[in-house]
């Protein structure tokens, strides 16, 4: 994995910036194993040995003394030889820190790649969903168009039904009027026919009566002759 020169310089700068603290920090110098004693001489008991890069806080440092009183990160206090201490961060510590930093960067990069891949998959899924939604929208629009056409047709048919119903009612009313007129005319006709029959009957009776009178008169005249 490649890292830019600026990034490496930045890492070194962060590692080598002086810590804002009142206490002096020292390290066991490179490639050493030193003793950590209870007192400031070889006569004191060795508490443990310390390897290169072991950090410690300097508690007492006296000019000319061989030993320096220190406190370990564990909280233990003791003495070590001053000649084996250095204020500079050992190369092994720097390398270890850099390796840790690089490992963290690798992890972050891997996580970023994983998120990017996941984002790409989600984007692909989203694109697929958008396609499905667009298709569903198109289908819905088509259904809406068909339903609208049916609705318009029903409106037209409803208007035609209303018009036909009105015409039917008008025709029914006209038919009823005509039927009433026909009934009236039929009644009048019947009356006329009855009146005409009576008249004809009376006319016929009158003719017969007149003929009878004429005939009787004629017989009387013949008998006188």
DSSP characters for 146-195?
HHHHHHHHHHHHHHHHHHHHHHHHHHHHHHHHHHHHHHHHHHHHHHHHHH
What is the span of the domain harbouring residue 54? 5-89
pLDDT tens-digit series, residues 92-146: 777 877 888 888 888 898 899 898 888 888 877 777 778 787 888 888 888 888 8
**Residue 74 domain-assigned?**
yes
**Residue 101 domain-assigned?**
no
**Residue 31 domain-assigned?**
yes
Average pLDDT over residues 176-192: 78
**Residue 63 domain-assigned?**
yes
With 0-12 / 13-18 / 19 or more C-beta atoms within 10 angstroms meaning exposed / middle / buried, residue 55 is middle
Structurally, the chain folds into a number of domains equal to 1
pTM over 0.85: no
**Residue 79 domain-assigned?**
yes
The rounded percent of the chain whose pLDDT value lies above 70 is 79
- 């629009």: which residue's tokens? 141
**Residue 73 domain-assigned?**
yes
**Residue 183 domain-assigned?**
no
pLDDT tens-digit series, residues 73-98: 999 999 999 988 888 877 777 787 78
Q: Evaluate whether 103 touches 11 at the Cβ level (below 8 Å).
A: no
Q: How much is the pLDDT for 220? A: 65
**Residue 210 domain-assigned?**
no
CATH code, domain with 38 = 2.30.30.40
């Amino acid at each position: 994995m490649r890292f830019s020169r600026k990034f490496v310089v930045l890492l070194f700068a962060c590692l080598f910036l002086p810590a804002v603290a009142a206490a002096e920090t020292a390290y066991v110098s490179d490639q050493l194993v030193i003793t950590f004693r209870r007192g400031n001489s070889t006569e004191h008991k060795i508490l443990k040995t310390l390897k290169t890069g072991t950090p410690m806080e300097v508690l007492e440092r006296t000019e000319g003394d061989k030993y320096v009183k220190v406190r370990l990160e564990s909280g233990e206090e003791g003495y070590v030889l001053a000649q084996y201490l250095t204020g500079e961060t050992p190369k092994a510590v720097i390398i270890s820190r850099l390796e840790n930093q690089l490992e963290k960067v690798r992890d972050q990069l891997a996580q970023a790649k994983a998120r990017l891949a996941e984002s790409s998959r989600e984007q692909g899924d989203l694109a697929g969903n958008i396609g499905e939604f667009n298709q569903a929208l198109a289908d819905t629009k088509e259904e809406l168009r068909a339903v609208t056409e049916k609705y318009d047709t029903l409106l037209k048919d409803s208007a035609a039904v209303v018009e036909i119903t009105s015409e039917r009612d008008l025709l029914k009313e006209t038919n009823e009027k005509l039927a009433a007129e026909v009934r009236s005319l039929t009644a009048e006709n019947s009356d006329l026919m009855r009146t005409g029959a009576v008249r004809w009957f009376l006319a016929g009776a009158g003719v017969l009566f007149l003929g009878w009178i004429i005939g009787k008169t004629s017989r009387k005249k013949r008998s006188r002759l």
